Amino acid sequence: MMRRLASVMVILAVVGLATVAVAEPGTDTGVDGGVGSDGPGPLPADPVDVVSDPAFGMGALAGAAVAGLGAWLAFRGGAKFVTRENVLENETRNGIFELLNDKPGLHLRAIADELDLSTTNVLWHLRKLEDADLVRGKKLEGYKVFYPVEGGQDSKREAMASAVLRNDNAQAVLEYVATEPGAHQRQIARALDVNHGTVRWHLRKMLKTDLLMEIKRENSNQYYLTDLGANVIGKPDAEAVPDGAETGAAAA
């Protein structure tokens, strides 16, 4: 509302001040009752003379400056600065924040689809939430996913895990490892009838987000749920990694 008012002020100020500039005192406009006129008189022989008059240029410059100042003051006077205390007063922004609390790890497009908003609108509000230190974003496999700051590192880990498991194949791999602790890549691929490369891709992502742990064996690498993986999948009593096993950082 205030921005619209400021725009109207600019237009009115420019038109009004430009008119005054043309009718600068001492300039005969030839219009009855005009500033500086002595009554009805002939129009200037060449209208260009009026426009090129130095008085016009100075008046227009002054008008633009005053109009700009007025618009700026109107905006500053009516604009509401976003702070941590009032950032959630905006209904759309609050909706985004609540969604991320329910579903941490969503990326920009997913948030927009969930709330039926444009990505531009969502991005604007996410930046406000980040500025208020309520939400953070982190790159994951080419996407920037967002999660609430409250909860610290645990919140971040859960958000990254949730982002990975939104893929059906990733979810299936994790569930298979939960039922078959120590399974290796080829075994998982055969059981799920999924390409070996696809399984390897998801295993690497789940290792990176601390959902799985890899145990190096002589002929293959075996996979077990971590505590986070077990909690995310709802199986906190899943078989733990054997004592003394050598763990690895990447899938075979």
**Are 235 and 172 in the same domain?**
yes
pTM given for the model: 0.54
Residue 6 vs residues 15, 109, 187: alpha-carbon distances, Å = 14, 33, 67
Nearby residues of 237 by Cβ (< 8 Å), 6 or more positions away: 230
- Tell me the mean pLDDT in the region 158-186: 90
**Are 41 and 95 in the same domain?**
no
- Tell me the mean pLDDT in the region 149-166: 83
Q: pLDDT tens digit string along 58-112? A: 555 555 555 555 554 444 444 457 787 888 999 999 999 999 998 888 999 999 9
| CATH assignment of the domain containing 179 | 1.10.10.10
Note the pLDDT of residue 39.
37
**Are 142 and 214 in the same domain?**
no
Contact 199, 189 (CB under 8 A): yes
Show the domain range for 178: 167-248
**Are 156 and 182 in the same domain?**
no
Q: pLDDT tens digit string along 115-135? A: 999 999 999 999 999 999 999
pLDDT band at 142 (very low <50, low <70, confident <90, very high): confident
**Are 156 and 208 in the same domain?**
no
Note the pLDDT of residue 204.
92
**Are 59 and 129 in the same domain?**
no
Average pLDDT, the chain: 73
Q: pLDDT tens digit string along 199-213? A: 999 999 899 888 999
**Are 68 and 91 in the same domain?**
no
End of a domain among 60, 78, 96? Answer: 78
Express as a percent the part of the chain with pLDDT over 70: 62
Note the pLDDT of residue 158.
83
**Are 124 and 176 in the same domain?**
no
- Tell me the mean pLDDT in the region 225-251: 65
Note the pLDDT of residue 223.
95
Nearby residues of 149 by Cβ (< 8 Å), 6 or more positions away: 133, 134, 135, 136, 155
Element (H, E) at 216: strand 212-216
End of a domain among 27, 60, 78? Answer: 78
Note the pLDDT of residue 14.
47
**Are 103 and 142 in the same domain?**
yes
Note the pLDDT of residue 207.
92
End of a domain among 58, 78, 98? Answer: 78
Position 225, amino acid: L
Tokens encoding 179: 């039922």
The count of structural domains within the chain is 3
Of residues 28 and 105, more confidence is placed in 105
Rounded Cα distance, 19 and 219, in Å: 89
Note the pLDDT of residue 251.
40
pLDDT band at 46 (very low <50, low <70, confident <90, very high): very low
Note the pLDDT of residue 217.
81
**Are 141 and 174 in the same domain?**
no
Rounded Cα distance, 67 and 18, in Å: 11
**Are 126 and 157 in the same domain?**
yes
